[in-house]
Amino acid sequence: MSLQDWLAFVVIWTAVGLPVGPNAVACVTAAVSNGPRRALWTAAGITLASVAHALLAVFGFGALLLLYAELFHLLKWLGIAYLVWIGILLWRRPPADLAIAARPVESSGRLLRFGFLVSMSNPKAVLMYLSVFTQAIDPAAPLAPQLAVLMPTASAIVAPIYVGWVLLGGPLRRLLTSARRQRLFNRTAGGFYIVTASAVAFADPRRASG
Protein backbone atom coordinates (compact mmCIF):
# COMPACT_ATOMS: atom_id res chain seq x y z
CA MET A 1 0.00 0.00 0.00
CA SER A 2 1.38 3.36 -1.03
CA LEU A 3 1.56 6.34 1.33
CA GLN A 4 -0.94 8.18 -0.86
CA ASP A 5 -3.47 5.33 -0.59
CA TRP A 6 -2.97 5.15 3.17
CA LEU A 7 -3.49 8.90 3.62
CA ALA A 8 -6.66 8.72 1.52
CA PHE A 9 -7.93 5.93 3.76
CA VAL A 10 -7.14 7.99 6.87
CA VAL A 11 -9.11 10.97 5.54
CA ILE A 12 -12.12 8.88 4.50
CA TRP A 13 -12.18 6.84 7.70
CA THR A 14 -11.98 9.96 9.86
CA ALA A 15 -14.88 11.50 7.94
CA VAL A 16 -16.89 8.30 8.43
CA GLY A 17 -16.29 8.28 12.19
CA LEU A 18 -17.01 11.93 12.99
CA PRO A 19 -20.80 12.30 12.46
CA VAL A 20 -23.00 12.05 15.56
CA GLY A 21 -24.81 8.73 15.71
CA PRO A 22 -25.83 5.96 18.13
CA ASN A 23 -22.19 5.24 19.00
CA ALA A 24 -21.54 8.83 20.08
CA VAL A 25 -24.75 8.94 22.10
CA ALA A 26 -23.82 5.63 23.75
CA CYS A 27 -20.49 7.12 24.89
CA VAL A 28 -22.12 10.27 26.26
CA THR A 29 -24.91 8.43 28.10
CA ALA A 30 -22.44 5.94 29.59
CA ALA A 31 -20.25 8.81 30.81
CA VAL A 32 -23.20 10.67 32.31
CA SER A 33 -24.44 7.57 34.16
CA ASN A 34 -21.10 6.06 35.21
CA GLY A 35 -18.47 8.77 34.90
CA PRO A 36 -15.97 9.26 32.05
CA ARG A 37 -13.38 6.82 33.40
CA ARG A 38 -15.73 3.84 33.50
CA ALA A 39 -17.42 4.90 30.26
CA LEU A 40 -14.12 4.31 28.46
CA TRP A 41 -15.21 0.66 28.42
CA THR A 42 -18.09 1.68 26.16
CA ALA A 43 -15.64 3.38 23.78
CA ALA A 44 -13.56 0.18 23.86
CA GLY A 45 -16.63 -1.87 22.95
CA ILE A 46 -17.36 0.39 19.98
CA THR A 47 -13.73 0.10 18.84
CA LEU A 48 -13.96 -3.71 19.02
CA ALA A 49 -17.17 -3.56 17.01
CA SER A 50 -15.45 -1.45 14.35
CA VAL A 51 -12.84 -4.20 13.98
CA ALA A 52 -15.61 -6.79 13.70
CA HIS A 53 -17.44 -4.72 11.08
CA ALA A 54 -14.27 -4.31 9.05
CA LEU A 55 -13.41 -8.02 9.17
CA LEU A 56 -16.95 -8.99 8.18
CA ALA A 57 -16.80 -6.56 5.28
CA VAL A 58 -13.38 -7.68 4.07
CA PHE A 59 -14.24 -11.36 4.22
CA GLY A 60 -17.42 -11.02 2.24
CA PHE A 61 -20.23 -10.77 4.78
CA GLY A 62 -21.34 -7.46 3.28
CA ALA A 63 -21.66 -9.05 -0.15
CA LEU A 64 -23.56 -11.94 1.43
CA LEU A 65 -26.05 -9.49 2.95
CA LEU A 66 -26.60 -7.96 -0.47
CA LEU A 67 -27.21 -11.35 -2.08
CA TYR A 68 -29.57 -12.68 0.58
CA ALA A 69 -32.17 -10.02 1.33
CA GLU A 70 -33.89 -12.17 3.96
CA LEU A 71 -30.70 -12.38 6.04
CA PHE A 72 -30.17 -8.65 5.74
CA HIS A 73 -33.72 -7.85 6.81
CA LEU A 74 -33.55 -10.26 9.75
CA LEU A 75 -30.39 -8.61 11.07
CA LYS A 76 -31.79 -5.18 10.29
CA TRP A 77 -34.92 -5.73 12.38
CA LEU A 78 -32.99 -7.31 15.23
CA GLY A 79 -30.83 -4.19 15.27
CA ILE A 80 -33.89 -1.94 15.15
CA ALA A 81 -35.46 -3.84 18.05
CA TYR A 82 -32.26 -3.43 20.09
CA LEU A 83 -32.09 0.32 19.45
CA VAL A 84 -35.76 0.75 20.41
CA TRP A 85 -35.20 -1.29 23.57
CA ILE A 86 -32.23 0.91 24.55
CA GLY A 87 -34.34 4.00 23.82
CA ILE A 88 -37.19 2.79 26.04
CA LEU A 89 -34.79 1.93 28.87
CA LEU A 90 -33.25 5.40 28.71
CA TRP A 91 -36.65 7.10 28.47
CA ARG A 92 -37.88 5.27 31.59
CA ARG A 93 -34.60 5.50 33.55
CA PRO A 94 -35.19 7.29 36.86
CA PRO A 95 -32.89 10.13 37.98
CA ALA A 96 -29.80 8.92 39.84
CA ASP A 97 -27.69 10.41 42.59
CA LEU A 98 -24.73 11.48 40.46
CA ALA A 99 -22.98 12.91 43.49
CA ILE A 100 -22.01 9.38 44.53
CA ALA A 101 -19.25 9.17 41.95
CA ALA A 102 -17.49 6.26 43.63
CA ARG A 103 -20.46 3.95 43.18
CA PRO A 104 -20.58 2.65 39.59
CA VAL A 105 -23.98 2.02 38.08
CA GLU A 106 -22.81 -0.64 35.64
CA SER A 107 -19.90 -3.07 35.50
CA SER A 108 -17.04 -2.64 33.06
CA GLY A 109 -18.13 -5.79 31.22
CA ARG A 110 -21.66 -4.50 30.81
CA LEU A 111 -20.41 -1.15 29.52
CA LEU A 112 -18.09 -2.90 27.06
CA ARG A 113 -20.95 -5.09 25.86
CA PHE A 114 -23.26 -2.08 25.59
CA GLY A 115 -20.85 -0.22 23.29
CA PHE A 116 -20.23 -3.33 21.19
CA LEU A 117 -23.92 -4.18 20.74
CA VAL A 118 -24.96 -0.61 19.94
CA SER A 119 -22.31 -0.43 17.23
CA MET A 120 -23.16 -3.89 15.87
CA SER A 121 -26.94 -3.26 15.87
CA ASN A 122 -27.02 -1.81 12.35
CA PRO A 123 -26.08 -4.29 9.58
CA LYS A 124 -25.84 -1.37 7.14
CA ALA A 125 -22.57 -0.50 8.90
CA VAL A 126 -21.02 -3.64 7.40
CA LEU A 127 -21.96 -2.38 3.94
CA MET A 128 -20.49 1.03 4.71
CA TYR A 129 -17.27 -0.58 5.89
CA LEU A 130 -17.32 -2.74 2.76
CA SER A 131 -17.46 0.34 0.54
CA VAL A 132 -14.49 1.97 2.31
CA PHE A 133 -12.23 -1.04 2.81
CA THR A 134 -12.69 -2.43 -0.68
CA GLN A 135 -11.53 0.89 -2.09
CA ALA A 136 -8.37 0.78 0.05
CA ILE A 137 -7.43 -2.87 -0.55
CA ASP A 138 -5.55 -3.94 -3.66
CA PRO A 139 -7.03 -7.31 -4.73
CA ALA A 140 -3.84 -8.14 -6.64
CA ALA A 141 -1.69 -7.88 -3.49
CA PRO A 142 -1.64 -10.22 -0.47
CA LEU A 143 -4.50 -9.44 1.89
CA ALA A 144 -2.79 -10.03 5.25
CA PRO A 145 -0.14 -7.28 4.97
CA GLN A 146 -2.78 -4.78 3.88
CA LEU A 147 -5.03 -5.67 6.83
CA ALA A 148 -2.00 -5.39 9.12
CA VAL A 149 -1.86 -1.71 8.11
CA LEU A 150 -5.54 -0.85 7.69
CA MET A 151 -6.96 -2.48 10.82
CA PRO A 152 -4.67 -0.72 13.34
CA THR A 153 -5.14 2.51 11.40
CA ALA A 154 -8.92 2.24 11.55
CA SER A 155 -8.86 1.46 15.28
CA ALA A 156 -6.42 4.30 15.96
CA ILE A 157 -8.87 6.69 14.29
CA VAL A 158 -12.08 5.36 15.82
CA ALA A 159 -10.85 5.04 19.43
CA PRO A 160 -9.89 8.72 19.99
CA ILE A 161 -13.17 9.89 18.43
CA TYR A 162 -15.26 7.94 20.90
CA VAL A 163 -12.95 8.70 23.81
CA GLY A 164 -13.66 12.33 22.94
CA TRP A 165 -17.41 11.68 23.19
CA VAL A 166 -16.84 10.01 26.56
CA LEU A 167 -14.92 13.05 27.80
CA LEU A 168 -17.77 15.27 26.62
CA GLY A 169 -20.03 13.33 28.96
CA GLY A 170 -17.92 14.48 31.93
CA PRO A 171 -19.06 18.14 31.86
CA LEU A 172 -22.61 16.99 31.13
CA ARG A 173 -22.50 14.77 34.20
CA ARG A 174 -21.65 17.79 36.36
CA LEU A 175 -24.54 19.74 34.85
CA LEU A 176 -27.13 17.02 35.41
CA THR A 177 -27.36 17.43 39.18
CA SER A 178 -31.12 17.90 39.32
CA ALA A 179 -33.74 15.21 38.73
CA ARG A 180 -35.42 17.39 36.11
CA ARG A 181 -32.25 17.78 34.05
CA GLN A 182 -31.44 14.08 34.27
CA ARG A 183 -34.95 13.15 33.17
CA LEU A 184 -34.69 15.56 30.21
CA PHE A 185 -31.31 14.11 29.21
CA ASN A 186 -32.51 10.50 29.52
CA ARG A 187 -35.59 11.19 27.42
CA THR A 188 -33.60 13.10 24.82
CA ALA A 189 -31.07 10.27 24.51
CA GLY A 190 -33.82 7.64 24.52
CA GLY A 191 -35.76 9.55 21.87
CA PHE A 192 -32.60 9.73 19.74
CA TYR A 193 -32.29 5.93 19.73
CA ILE A 194 -35.96 5.48 18.85
CA VAL A 195 -35.74 8.03 16.03
CA THR A 196 -32.55 6.36 14.76
CA ALA A 197 -34.31 2.97 14.79
CA SER A 198 -37.18 4.49 12.82
CA ALA A 199 -34.76 5.97 10.28
CA VAL A 200 -33.08 2.57 9.83
CA ALA A 201 -36.49 0.91 9.46
CA PHE A 202 -37.56 3.19 6.61
CA ALA A 203 -34.17 3.58 4.90
CA ASP A 204 -33.38 1.87 1.60
CA PRO A 205 -30.84 -0.86 2.48
CA ARG A 206 -29.28 -0.73 -0.97
CA ARG A 207 -28.10 2.85 -0.55
CA ALA A 208 -25.34 1.76 1.79
CA SER A 209 -23.77 -0.31 -0.91
CA GLY A 210 -23.34 2.42 -3.44
Return per-residue pLDDT of the chain as tens, 210 residues. Answer: 778 888 888 888 887 777 677 888 889 888 888 888 899 999 999 999 988 888 887 776 656 665 666 766 776 787 678 778 877 877 877 766 555 444 456 788 999 999 999 888 876 677 677 767 767 777 777 877 888 888 889 889 889 989 998 998 878 777 766 677 777 777 887 787 788 778 767 765 444 443
8 A C-beta contact, residue 40 and residue 170: no
Question: What's the confidence (pLDDT) of residue 71?
Answer: 66
- Within its chain, how far is the Cα of 148 from the centroid? 22
Count CA atoms closer than 13 A to 56's CA, side-chain side.
Answer: 18
Domain spans of the chain?
A: 3-9+21-209
Rounded Cα gap, residues 53 and 61, in angstroms: 9
Q: Which of 44, 45, 66, 69 is nearest to 57 (CA)?
A: 66
8 A C-beta contact, residue 171 and residue 55: no
